[in-house]
Amino acid sequence: MQVIVKTGGKQYVASKGDVIIVDKLEGEAGTSVELTEVVAVVDGDKTVVGSPFIKGAKVVAEIVRQGKAKKINAFNYKPKKNERKRWGHRQPETHIKVTEVVAK
């Protein structure tokens, strides 16, 4: 059974046992998280699509670790002005393992 779940403004395809990387969720490693915004459920040849979400469906996951993504470097300059600016950003992320998919 596969589900499409929405979290952090993005949608992810997941099934039981998958480890997915999502935007930062509150909690420490080992704690349980429920994602209730399930957009679609695919079970074999049967597909259920919500409008916008499926009532009663949820994904139970366990936080594996908290971390940061790879660094994104940016650089601005203005020619002939000796003006340069360099900066970077690391987006916080959470690795979660799907332990249960509940679809009614």
Average pLDDT over residues 35-39: 94
For residue 87, pLDDT beyond 80: yes
pLDDT score recorded for residue 29: 94
* Cα–Cα distances in angstroms (integers) from residue 70 to residues 13, 17, 89, 92, in the given order: 22, 25, 8, 10
Question: Model pTM?
Answer: 0.83
| Residues listed for the chain | 104
Q: Which two tokens stand for residue 54?
A: 């499926």
Domain boundaries, the chain: 2-102
Cis peptide before 52 (omega within 30 of 0): yes
Give dist(CA 98, CA 32) in Å, integer.
Answer: 10
